[in-house]
Amino acid sequence: MGDAALTKERILEAALCEFAEHGLAGARVDRLAGRAGCNKQLIYEYFGSKERLFDATIQATSERLAVEVPFDPADLAGHAVALYDFMIEHPEAARLVRWHALERPGVAGSAPWLVQRNRHLVGAITEAQRLGTVAADLSARMLLVFVIALVQTNEDERLVNRGKPIPHPEKRRALRTAVRLLSTPSEQRPEPPRST
Amino acid sequence: MGDAALTKERILEAALCEFAEHGLAGARVDRLAGRAGCNKQLIYEYFGSKERLFDATIQATSERLAVEVPFDPADLAGHAVALYDFMIEHPEAARLVRWHALERPGVAGSAPWLVQRNRHLVGAITEAQRLGTVAADLSARMLLVFVIALVQTNEDERLVNRGKPIPHPEKRRALRTAVRLLSTPSEQRPEPPRST
């Protein structure tokens, strides 16, 4: 990797911390430059603007997530749990996604890579539904939206659980159960008990 | 209602707009005072600080939601849809909740009213599970966390749906289906087709 590539990578790492902590509006490019150990001018030269650096940070984080969290449409529950584990290990990624939702709502092209990846995942789920390995109660796109939503419940948990987060093992187990309930084809669901 | 009560109400309305737009860190008390048509000093006198005004705004919004969105543990899917409709009619409430999650994470006592209300809802769901009207695959608290998460998918939808929001009727229908799948006791689920 050349010097420029290394510097860009260092800037993206610093940007992830800075944006996760303060969001897009609250982030300061000079503080970010301090974290990255480079000068502010270089950041503008490489990334153009704070907004474009934010979008580049979303993309870098998404690409890393895609590598570390494999996707198998036949095991959506396993995917959800892996996604959850990633978010627990990388709380800054979870925060970044939330800031993005608040500060770049509907900004066309603010996350093209992620949109493209999700398009691919929806295609894979649609195919699995056609083959009958995934339930078709929900459309493929709504199923993916819901899986993503179930993973990211952090702060709602506190509001429900008397101000405390729900213990990871309980959340993990519940996540697996919930995604199974949403995605297991009815003929594979455990048979209900019969009243006699 | 006395003058002071009316003024407080006007401040809370202005606060909802200001915080929904800019978040807690980004909100400016002088701009907020302008919106409310009162002087800045009065806001500090009534609410103490920007943080406490933010928390008061969360509480006022939660109370309004509790009045307008009835809760029946025997119809969690209906509750989810009503909550969704409320959020669509009040996008500023939906944004406020997201800012709260990012800017007041784990702040004990930042939303005591909401914590208390959710405690009541968890109790009602637990009782419904005991009576067998709600499935017990998930604990009552995880079920409530997931219902809340499924309602609030706005920006994830865009990332999944090629940058465009998913049409409300489709989201609404899917939400009802999903919450039914999570909460219908197995013996009430439609019988799976038998292979012969």
B149 pLDDT more than 70: yes
In this prediction, residue B192 has a pLDDT band, given cuts at 50, 70 and 90, of low
> What is the nearest CA distance from B133 to chain A, expressed in angstroms?
14
Chain A contact for B140, CB < 8 A?
A: no
Nearest to A192 among B163, B174, B187 (CB): B187
In angstroms, the CA A114 to CA A59 distance is 7
B167 has a chain A CB within 8 A of its CB: no
Tell me: the pLDDT tens digits for B9-55?
A: 999 999 999 999 999 999 999 999 999 999 999 999 999 999 999 99
pTM for this predicted structure: 0.90
Contact flag A142-B174 (C-beta cutoff 8 Å): yes
Higher pLDDT, B187 or A129: A129
Across chain B, mean pLDDT equals 91
SS3 B167: coil
Q: In this prediction, what percent of chain A has a pLDDT beyond 90?
A: 74
Q: Domain range spanning residue A137?
A: 51-187
Give the pLDDT score at A194: 53
Look at A106 and A82; give whichever has higher pLDDT: A82
Q: Is residue B175 part of a domain?
A: yes
Nearest beta carbon to residue A106 from set B105, B108, B158: B158
Q: How far apart are CA B159 and CA A117, in angstroms?
A: 9
Residue B74 at interface with chain A, using a CB cutoff of 8 Å: no
Best of B120, B142, B182 to disrupt the A interface by mutation (most A CBs within 10 Å)?
B142
Q: What is the pLDDT of residue A79?
A: 96
Contact B115 A159 (CB under 8 A): yes
Contact A106 B165 (CB under 8 A): yes
* Average pLDDT, integer, range B169-190: 92
In a domain, A35, yes or no: no
Q: Do A26 and B22 touch (CB under 8 A)?
A: no
Q: Is A24 contained in some domain?
A: no
Domain count, chain A: 1
- Taking only the tens place, the pLDDT of each residue in A38-48 is 999 999 999 99
Give the closest-approach CA distance of B45 to chain A in angstroms: 27
Q: How big is the CA angle at B145 (ends B68 and A116), to the nearest 5 degrees?
A: 100
Q: Are A111 and A118 in contact (CB under 8 A)?
A: no
The pLDDT score that the predictor gives to residue B151 is: 95
Q: What interface predicted TM-score (ipTM) does this complex get? A: 0.89
Q: Which of B156, B168, B171, B173 is most worth mutating to test chain A (most A CB atoms within 10 A of its CB)?
A: B156
Please tell me the predicted confidence (pLDDT) of residue A163: 83
Output the pLDDT for position B194: 53
Residue B97 in any domain: the answer is yes
Quote the pLDDT of residue B196.
44
Q: Kindly report the number of other CB atoms within 10 A of residue B177's CB atom.
A: 17
Helices (H), chain B: 3-26, 29-36, 40-47, 50-68, 76-89, 91-103, 112-131, 140-151, 154-160, 168-183
Closest by CA to A180, choosing from A120, A133, A131, A119, is A133
As to burial, measured by CB atoms within 10 angstroms (0-12 exposed, 13-18 middle, 19+ buried), residue A53 is buried
Please indicate, yes or no, if residue A72 is contained in any of the structural domains: yes
Is A72's pLDDT higher than 70? yes
Shortest distance between the Cα of A113 and any Cα of chain B, in A, equals 10
User: Cα A39 to chain center, whole Å?
Assistant: 30
Task: Output the CA torsion sign for B19, B24, B28, B29.
Answer: positive
Instruction: Say if A8 falls within a structural domain.
Output: no
- What confidence score (pLDDT) does residue B145 get? 96
Which of A96, A99, A80, A88 has the alpha carbon at shortest distance from A150? A80
Query: Quick check: B41 contacting A, CB < 8 Å?
Result: no
What's the whole-number mean pLDDT along residues A20-27?
94
B188 has a pLDDT exceeding 50: yes
Selected residue of B143, B158, B168, B173 to mutate for chain A interface (largest A Cβ count, 10 A): B158
Res B108: pLDDT: 65
Query: What pLDDT is attached to residue A192?
Result: 52
Q: How far is A4 from chain B (nearest CA, A)?
A: 30
Average pLDDT over chain A reads: 91
Q: What is the pLDDT of residue B138?
A: 97
Contact B156 A145 (CB under 8 A): yes
Q: What is the mean pLDDT of residues B104-109?
A: 75
Answer yes or no: is B20 within a domain: no
Select from A146, A154, A161 the Cβ nearest to the Cβ of B150: A146
State the pLDDT confidence band at A178, using cuts at 50, 70 and 90: very high
| Whether the predicted pLDDT of A54 surpasses 70 | yes
Q: Do B23 and A102 touch (CB under 8 A)?
A: yes
CATH, residue B104: 1.10.357.10
A163 part of contact set with chain B, CB < 8 Å: yes
Question: pLDDT tens digits, residue range A91-134?
Answer: 999 899 889 988 887 776 788 888 899 999 999 999 999 999 99
Confidence tier at A196 by pLDDT (50, 70, 90): very low
Residue of B nearest to A109 (CA): B163
Average pLDDT over residues B49-77: 94
Q: Which residues of B touch A122 (CB under 8 A)?
A: 160
Is the predicted pLDDT of residue B83 greater than 70, yes or no?
yes
Closest partner CB to A149 (pick from B101, B119, B153) = B153
Mean pLDDT across the stretch A178-184?
Answer: 97
Q: CA-to-CA distance for A97 and A90, rounded, in angstroms?
A: 11
On whether residue B9 sits in a domain, the answer given is no
